[in-house]
Amino acid sequence: MSKILIADDDMDILTVVKLILSMNHYYVHTVSDWREIPGEIERFSPDLLLLDVWLGGADGRDICKNLKESERTQDLPIVLVSANTDFKNDIRGCNADGFISKPFETTHLIKTIHCLLK
């Protein structure tokens, strides 16, 4: 079973996405504080990170870029998630592996994750 870490400061989003992914046979952990991401990656060893662009006090694009520049996490697939579709063009600069705009359709979320975890 693939493991997914979700980082979002909106508790409703965390709850709903965790439920959707769990129902689709993924093992899911969540964090609502960006400062928890490195430790949770170390402990949980996710196969994919769903990362909100705006994480109360931090920019997910910067977090993504730092993770992609680290030898330990450079191969971790990262999908940025944002209500602002303008950020879709910014994923190249931070080397994200994908982008999902909020609100999203469940089928698109699952398909994006499935394609990255093949």
CATH assignment of 3-116?
3.40.50.2300
Asked if 53 contacts 59 with a C-beta cutoff of 8 angstroms, the reply is: yes
- Report pLDDT for 90: 61
Summarize pLDDT for 45-97 with one digit per residue, the tens: 999 999 999 998 899 999 999 999 999 999 999 999 988 766 556 666 789 99
Dist. CA 86–CA 48, nearest whole Å: 23
Number of residues written out for the chain: 118
pTM score: 0.93
The mean pLDDT value for 4-9 works out to: 97
pLDDT at position 40: 97
Model confidence band, residue 20 (pLDDT cutoffs 50, 70, 90): very high
Are residues 47 and 2 in contact, defined by beta-carbon separation less than 8 angstroms? yes
